[in-house]
Chain A
Amino acid sequence: MVGIVSYGAYVPLRRLGKGTQGWRSPNEKAVAYYDEDTMTMAVAAAIDCLGDRDRQTVDGLYFASTTAPYKEKLAATTAAVAVDLRKDIITADCGDTLRSGMGALRMAIDTVKAGSAKQLLITASDCRLGDPGGDLDQIFGDGAAAFLIGDSDVIATLEAYYSVSNELFDYWRSDTAKFVHTWEDRWVQEEGYMKVVPKVVGAFFAKYKMSPKDITKVALYGNNQRRHGQVAKALGLRPEQVQDPLFSTVGNTGTAATPMQLVSALEDAKPGDKILCIAYGDGCDVILFQVTDAITGYKPNRAMKTHLAAKMIFPNYQQYFGFHHQARDTESGGGPAASVLAREVPEIYALRGTKCNVCGTVQYPPQRVCVKCQAKDQMESFRLSDRRGKIYTRVLDYAAGVPAYERPAVNFYLDWDCGGRANFQLTDKKPNIEDVPIGMEVEMTFRNIINGGGIHHYWWKAMPIRETWIAKEEK
């Protein structure tokens, strides 16, 4: 039986909302911080999806996004090394349409069904930009979802799907554009989304001799809150059948929108539930999942619930504008050496250190001569990205080479609980010294460190344990 084995999600900590100066929308939306992007969110969701599972048994990764970091360079390979998968795996990027997230999921299921792989990881993430201050800017949010697809222990199976391809300029971005284009709104909505989706979903029901009442939950993509509600109504869905489309908390996350809703639906699912996923963009994909008995024993990690609850209202829209629209420049300045990035893949991307087989000392960066007992070449590789630790000493750096809104930066020495010490930046932190005490527990997070030479340079930072951001009353 092929289907979803595990799921995960990521929502950036920062939200624009009521407390944000200069933010006009009544809704909150989640925004990737200056050191986050489509890649880092995908990796975070993938790690949330995998948890303690053996990463060596994953046979591939499909990376879906319309905002991948490169036009020419595979994102799936970068995500795969960050997640620390094997090398002999299938990798592919799915892009260019908001249907690519659900498309990748279906392709992964087909791949496993075809016997090309036993387990595949898929990620869907997006960081789309609207014209600053404009309507799309208020609607678009950032986020990611990930699924592990396999042929055993599945919690949901793909029961049916129906796809229609439809050539249309309603939302698009040319190869040189930064912001999403759109056309005259009434036409876009009424001739596009509102006409196409009911028609395709109707055809799906007709094909499989089903009706809306057979469905437990619908993960319905929506261009925006109003149009989403209108289409849900047109489909004849009762309110309790409609999965929260996240417009008031996260925003429209593009290719991740339907996958993130699917994660939410699975978090509350019971055996036998039927979850209908509807993705839209240059056509429409309708995919039906049925939840299995295995869901009762399934323990999600943070998924959507924890990520939604853990948040920080960003104080100022102008600052958001600064990091979202300027910090992405890779073309100016020098970049890291390609040879170093290639040589140090385990060290940089997988955050692998070494453990001395003679004295047992964990060390990072990876060493050949032990930092403690000086034994030579007696090391085994040791992954540290999933290890927690504590602050040994730290500083608030008021002159750090980071964007002004991140100052004071926190730079610190981390003592991992498993042994080993290294120097890191602390991100997603509060700016006061008493908020980052010596001894505070932290976890690792994959981030964009610096850009230059055309290269988005990724590495790891540490952050306070995400749950500490959940407001007390919501705990």
Chain B
Amino acid sequence: MAVGNIKDKVAVIGMGCVKFGENWDKSASDMMIDAAYEAYEDAGIEPKDIEAAWFGSTQISLGEPLAYALKLDHKPITRVENLCATATDAFRNACFGVASGMYDVVMALGCEKLKDSGRGGLGGGGGGGGGDMLFIPSGGPHTAFAQMANRYMEEYGWTYDEFKPILAKIAVKNHYNGSLNPKAHFQQAITEEQAINAPMMSWPLGLYDCCGVSDGSAAAIITRADMAKSFRDDYTLVKGVGLAVGARQGWTRQDFDMVHMEPTVQAGRQAYEQAGIKDPFKEIDLAEVHDCFSITELVIMEDLGFSPRGQAPEYIKEGRFLLDGDLAVNPDGGLKSFGHPIGASGLRMLYEVYKQMQGKAGPRQRKNPTLGLTHNFGFNPGSGVGSVTIMGQADTKSFS
């Protein structure tokens, strides 16, 4: 079995990201254009330099709208959908397009226009019953992830009164980070009391345990590592890309627990192996992870090896994942406050890692970061899609 390695073969030379939010005044095309042109300008290239593109979106089910929005002239475009890992998977396939030698300069762009749907949240909860196409009894994503929260409390012996403040700390951290980010959907800091006392959604998850539902778009320009220098000095290098898809094991099998997300573990393992990472908590400077719900971020800390099993609550209490902590988690505000336009989120995460590596993250800047990680988890605990991408600074090329 071939075990290829993407490490140091592909470079990111330009990125763009629009302000996420309820962008009532912007169409999907507007956001694609804004994200793409910021990326073009950042990379110092012209639209015509793009040889191929991968377009990530869950709602826009075609690749053609990207060509139409950007007037890409008869270029190869592939639309990618992989739940919440959609943008990351578009990026991953764009990396392969370059690494294969097929193309020199390509683009990955994610875009989602959720706020034209006339509903809050991501929908769900109507509840069909039975049948391959109807088989989710009720409840939106908040319900699915609350199942994990309840099981976690049960397994590790947490009461609601003890556990809720820990979840609240995650929301407080991500809101604080978002308050420092002019592109975030929500830019206000909140208090632990606010998070704890917010209206209940799915016990124990309240409103502030849930991420924002937003419009947004983000893009990356990718080239071969050996060509990157001709575009800029402070490019970033892709160190590893992992992707793992669950088969609903946790929904159907009693021997699967629901206090971890196996796709995350597996995707992390792939990416760490490619990047040569042995101790992620020590080696990684910052991580943009899929905090669709507070409990998700908590469990991801354990799944990605940032804390031992069952210890994430302690690490969170100790502030280890704060902006100035040992390993900054969601320095840009995360899904919680940056917002979650599904098919754009993965590239938004890479945007923060990219800017941090270049020292351009403003008040959120970490001191000399060299290695950053992004993570997505799509669908519900017990199954789902996990993706992990690791990027490092250009001058860490010799890092191993």
Contact = CB atoms under 8 A, between A and B. Distances in A.
Given A371-B248, A393-B150, A433-B203, A399 B132 contact: no
A300 interface: no
Contacts of A459: 129-130, 137
Contacts of B200: 396, 398, 408
Interface string B111-141: 0000000000100111111111111111110
A419 B142 CA distance: 27
A415 B250 CA distance: 11
B245 to A, nearest CB: 14
A401 B126 CA distance: 5
A348 B130 contact: yes
Interface in A378-435: 392-402, 408-409, 411-413, 415, 419-425, 433
A375 interface: no
Contacts of A401: 124-127, 138-140
A393 B151 contact: yes
Interface in B244-283: 247-256, 258
B199 interface: yes
Given A371-B247, A438-B150, A450-B127, A395 B139 contact: yes
Contact of B202 (A399, A413, A415): A399
Given A396-B203, A398-B201, A398-B203, A409 B132 contact: no
Most buried by B among A336, A393, A449: A393
Interface stretch (A168-176, A219-227, A361-369): A361-369
Contact of B129 (A361, A371, A438, A450): A450
Nearest to A363: B252
B154 interface: yes
Interface in B219-256: 247-256
A413 B129 contact: no
Contacts of B205: 395
A341 interface: yes
A341 B132 CA distance: 10
Nearest to A424: B137
A2 to B, nearest CB: 37
A347 interface: yes
Nearest to A407: B200
Given A398-B201, A399-B201, A420 B127 contact: no
B148 interface: yes
A206 B131 CA distance: 58
Most buried by A among B132, B134, B135, B205: B134
Given A371-B248, A411-B139, A438-B150, A399 B130 contact: no
Nearest to B121: A399
A327 to B, nearest CB: 13
Contacts of A363: 252-253
26 contacts: A337-B131, A344-B130, A344-B131, A348-B129, A348-B130, A363-B252, A371-B247, A371-B248, A372-B253, A372-B255, A395-B150, A396-B200, A397-B139, A397-B201, A397-B202, A399-B125, A400-B138, A401-B127, A401-B140, A413-B147, A420-B252, A423-B137, A433-B160, A438-B151, A457-B128, A459-B137
Given A340-B134, A399-B140, 11 more contacts: A340-B132, A340-B133, A347-B131, A392-B258, A398-B199, A411-B139, A421-B256, A438-B154, A450-B126, A450-B129, A461-B137
